[in-house]
Amino acid sequence: MSPSTGRRGRGPRAKFFIVTGVSGAGKSQALKAFEDLGFFCVDNLPISLLDRFADHALRSGRFRRVALGMDIREGRWLAGLPGVLKRLKEKGIDQSVLFLDASDACVIQRFSETRHRHPLGKKLSEAIREERRRLVPLKALADKVIDTSTMTLGELKEKLSESLQLTRTREMTLSVVSFGYKYGLPMDADIVMDVRFLPNPNYEGRLRRLSGLFPAVQRFILSAPSARKFLDDYLDFILKLLPAYVREGKSYLTIAVGCTGGRHRSVFVTQHLARMLARSGHPVQEFHRDINRIG
């Protein structure tokens, strides 16, 4: 089998993006964006291992969309990149070079904020100037150059999707979790709703030992005239927020619903909200952190 027909397996051709550019221009953020778009990402893979990695990707069939981060620390790898790209093509892999750039002022500001040392280890202004000089051939080789000077992570992801014609392979994952305030807020919560204003089944002897998953408890909570309106309004509120979180680049969103003990009201509202979100077409996970706590 000749190299040009050496692609193993069937299905779509593998696609590799080489992500590089000026230090401080956002390579790590770009890789996060690629990851959120469903790519398998590797940062600082030695150029000497790229051929072996490509062969493994083709054999396994698992890595059809790959983003590889490489920077000036690879040293002489720049001179060998054209040969590497040629070999990838011969293996049946589509490849593109993405070069990230940013203004000197922006790069200096980012290094100052993170307090990271420039890879070339010189005075920052000198290091930036020297790096730009070394990267001239690579920038000329790039299929796409993106200036990230004024971009947020969400804007960078949107730019990548638009300019590179990428599609998201997975949606934002929603988690809805119930909890009891007496045990503390969930540390990973993005949105918190306090439902302690709803009728409390804990004071009803026949309901106390049951959880909010039981129909009898749910009927008791819904006996309040405002309960159903709250459920409808809160669902509508969340559905209106979700597109904004997606635009901002969120991959995971955790909605926490709390009551006093985390067994009755919050459990019912969490279950209801998760089901309604699922019916609306959103991938959602439902958790009840404190449902088994009694006391």
DSSP secondary structure letters along 35-93 = HHTT-EEEES--GGGHHHHHHHHHHH---SEEEEE--GGGTTHHHHHHHHHHHHHHTT-
Residue 169 has pLDDT above 60, yes or no: no
Residue 223 has pLDDT above 50, yes or no: yes
Mean pLDDT of 126-141: 86
Mean pLDDT of the chain: 84
Lowest mean pLDDT among 48-62, 91-105, 263-277: 48-62
- Buried/exposed 173-192: b ≥16 CB within 10 Å, e otherwise: ebbbbbbbbeeeebeebeee
Mean pLDDT of 86-107: 88
Mean pLDDT of 178-196: 94
Q: What is the pLDDT of residue 256?
A: 96
Residues with Cβ < 8 Å from 147, sequence gap 6 or more? 101, 102, 103
Residue 273 has pLDDT above 50, yes or no: yes
Residue 64 has pLDDT above 80, yes or no: no
Q: What is the pLDDT of residue 1?
A: 36
Residue 86 has pLDDT above 80, yes or no: yes
Q: What is the pLDDT of residue 6?
A: 39
Q: What is the pLDDT of residue 137?
A: 83
What are the pLDDT digits (tens) for 26-43? 888 888 888 877 788 888
DSSP symbol at 182: G
Mean pLDDT of 111-119: 81
Mean pLDDT of 217-228: 93
- Grade residue 281 by pLDDT with cuts at 50, 70 and 90: confident
C-alpha torsion 156→158→164→170, nearest 10: 110
Residue 231 has pLDDT above 90, yes or no: yes
What are the pLDDT digits (tens) for 40-51? 888 888 777 888
Lowest mean pLDDT among 203-212, 227-236, 258-267: 203-212
The residue that leads in pLDDT, 116 or 16, is: 16
Q: What is the pLDDT of residue 183?
A: 94
- Domain-wise residue ranges, the chain: 3-163, 173-288
Rounded Cα gap, residues 5 and 285, in angstroms: 43
Lowest mean pLDDT among 3-7, 215-219, 230-234: 3-7
Would you identify the CATH topology of the domain 3-163?
Rossmann fold (3.40.50)
State percent of the chain over pLDDT 90. 30
Rounded Cα gap, residues 260 and 115, in angstroms: 43
